[in-house]
């Protein structure tokens, strides 16, 4: 049997979560110009993440769509959808998540601010064909912040949620459920 091909670029946005999917209290985040400056962030003390940063993860998959939400004014939930051949998604997600959990601690520098990061592998629900998850605890100048990243691959689509752990856990099943409409 031939391996599934990536979806067309316009097929992913309709599969993203919406405010209606999430329920009350969520607002679509409006990205401001200049919000994302990945060149301003570097990693020290974790060779696998340093290597990943040099190779550039932004063009890791053939097709991508993304959205983000704010919940109760301060918690965030971001979603990325990726489509590629299943073998490519599997291999690259394994590499990405493996890099993160390979170092239990490292330092991330944002601008000139060093941020201590602790990483732990996280449990995943039995959804889709493959599941990956980790939790980051960052010591920010404003205080500690915990973020969970979870990805689920289903055929030739992967959904990745990043945000407050309770929000990721609460919405991953809905996000994966929407993937069925893409195939």
Among 63, 61, 51, which residue's Cα sits nearest to residue 15? 63
Q: Residue 4: inside a domain, yes or no?
A: no
Model pLDDT for residues 42-52, shown as the tens digit of each residue: 899 999 988 88
Listed range (12-26, 30-44, 128-142, 143-157) with the worst mean pLDDT: 30-44
Q: How many domains are contained in the chain? A: 1
Q: Which residues pair with 105 in a beta bridge?
A: 118
Q: Looking at residue 33, what is its pLDDT?
A: 45
Model pLDDT for residues 70-122, shown as the tens digit of each residue: 998 889 999 999 999 999 999 999 999 999 999 999 999 988 889 999 999 99
pLDDT for 181 beyond 80: no
Q: Residue 53: inside a domain, yes or no?
A: yes
Q: Which domain holds residue 70?
A: 9-17+39-182
- Compute the mean pLDDT over every residue in the chain, rounded to the nearest whole number: 89
Q: Residue 135: inside a domain, yes or no?
A: yes
Q: Taking the CA atoms of the chain, what radius of gyration do you get in angstroms?
A: 16
Q: Residue 23: inside a domain, yes or no?
A: no
Report yes or no: 26 and 16 within 8 Å, Cβ to Cβ.
no
Question: Can you give the pTM of this predicted structure?
Answer: 0.90
Q: Residue 25: inside a domain, yes or no?
A: no
pLDDT for 34 beyond 50: no
Token digits of residue 143:
């205080």
Q: Residue 27: inside a domain, yes or no?
A: no
Among 96, 17, 101, which residue's Cα sits nearest to residue 58? 96
Q: Residue 29: inside a domain, yes or no?
A: no
Report yes or no: 68 and 29 within 8 Å, Cβ to Cβ.
yes
Question: Residue 131: which CATH number?
Answer: 3.40.1000.70
Q: Residue 89: inside a domain, yes or no?
A: yes
pLDDT for 36 beyond 60: no
């Amino acid at each position: 049997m031939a391996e599934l091909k990536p979806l067309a670029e316009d097929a992913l946005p309709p599969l993203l979560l919406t405010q209606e999917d999430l329920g009350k209290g969520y607002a679509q985040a409006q990205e401001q110009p200049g919000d994302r400056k990945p060149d301003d962030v570097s990693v020290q003390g974790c060779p696998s993440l340093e290597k990943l940063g040099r190779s550039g993860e932004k063009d890791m998959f053939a097709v991508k769509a993304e959205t983000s939400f704010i919940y109760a004014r301060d918690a965030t939930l971001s979603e990325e959808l990726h489509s590629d051949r299943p073998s490519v998604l599997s291999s690259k997600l394994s590499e990405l998540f493996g890099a993160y959990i390979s170092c239990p601690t490292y330092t991330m520098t944002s601008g000139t601010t060093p941020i201590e990061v602790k990483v732990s592998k996280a449990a995943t629900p039995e959804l889709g064909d493959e599941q990956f998850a980790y939790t980051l605890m960052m010591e920010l100048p404003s205080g500690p912040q915990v973020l969970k990243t979870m990805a689920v691959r289903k055929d030739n689509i992967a959904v990745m949620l990043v945000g407050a752990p309770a929000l990721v856990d609460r919405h991953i099943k809905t996000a994966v459920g929407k993937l069925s409409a893409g195939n």
